[in-house]
Every structure is written in structure tokens, then in C-alpha cells.
Amino acid sequence: MQISQIRDAIAAAASAVVLPAGIAKLTCSGFTPDSVVAPHFFVAEYTQDYDKAMRRSLDELEFTCRVLVSTADDRAAQRVLDSMLSGSGTASLKQAIEAARGEPGEYALGGLAHDLHVMRVQGYRWYEHQGAEFVGAELIIKVIGDGSS
């Protein structure tokens, strides 16, 4: 699997989120940015388990992604964040990202991986990013695919 391409594809899938009226469009990046324009989703750290099946036929990646929201109004910011962390709905990151799994029998992320799954949310808290404060959370995404490519 080509890690940079997968990171970019996850960010592209997340950009399909539709936030409530009056909220700026979610910006997304497949890398940890120097600075963010909130609300912002980015693919941060990852772990990789090689050789989950024989002959490099399967690797497993676990991406830690972050979503950060402006703290201009702490209550409103947390409501926006909650809507993005919901399991369904137009603002749901889980729903938007898992739509990139493709149809049954298709590979995920436009052919870059066998499958993906948004597993959990963690770290719902205040974050500092390059000196600015945000309310945010992490999403853990598992991606499996051919280890020989």
C-alpha cells in the first residue's frame, strides 16, 4: 500500500462532510499541517503491522486522525464537533469516510486498499496546534490491503 496516497484519499473522503448552515466548510489534509483553518480534519500518526497474511499479501494500518474546531464559542464548537463524531448524518465523518469503501466487491479508497473501518473516537479534549487552541477529537481508522504494493 502507498501510505501517502491512502492518507490523501482518507482526507478526500472526509471532505464530503456537510456541516450545519453558518459553519465554515470542513478543510481536510492527508498530513499534519503547520497551521489549520478550523474546522479542520487531518490524518496524523499511523501504525503499520506487516505480514498479517503470508507472502506480504496483507498489511494493516491504523491511522490516528484529528478533527479540530474553533473555540470562539465553546458550546457551539462542541455541538459542531459532536455532529462530526456522530455515527450517521450529513456531518458524520464516519459515514463520509466509510462511503469510500466502495460497493461490495470493490476495493476501498479508489482501489488503494482492500477495506477500511472507522473504529472509534478518542481524545475528546482541548488541543493546542501551533499556538492556537481548538476543541477536537481523534478518530482511529483501520485500513487493510496488499503489503506487496
6-57 residue pLDDT tens: 999 999 999 999 998 889 999 999 999 999 999 999 999 999 999 988 888 8
Query: Which cell numbers in the block locate residue 106?
Result: 470493490
Four-point Cα dihedral 70, 76, 81, 84, nearest 10 = -120
What percent of the chain has a predicted confidence (pLDDT) above 70? 100
pLDDT the model gives residue 52: 86
Which helix H or strand E contains 5, and what residues bound it? helix 3-14
Phi, psi dihedral angles at 20 (to 5 degrees): -55, 155
Overall pTM > 0.85: yes
What number is the average pLDDT over the span 92-116?
96
Q: What is the mean pLDDT of the chain?
A: 95
d(C-alpha 86, C-alpha 17), whole Å: 12
Residue 57's pLDDT is: 87
Q: How far is the C-alpha of 60 from the C-alpha of 62, rounded, in Å?
A: 7
What pLDDT digit, counting tens, does each position of 45-86 carry? 999 999 988 888 899 999 999 999 998 888 999 999 999 999
- CA distances (Å), origin 134, targets 4, 9, 94, 100, 114: 26, 24, 21, 27, 34
pLDDT value, residue 116: 97
Q: Do the beta carbons of residue 78 and residue 67 sit within 8 Å?
A: no
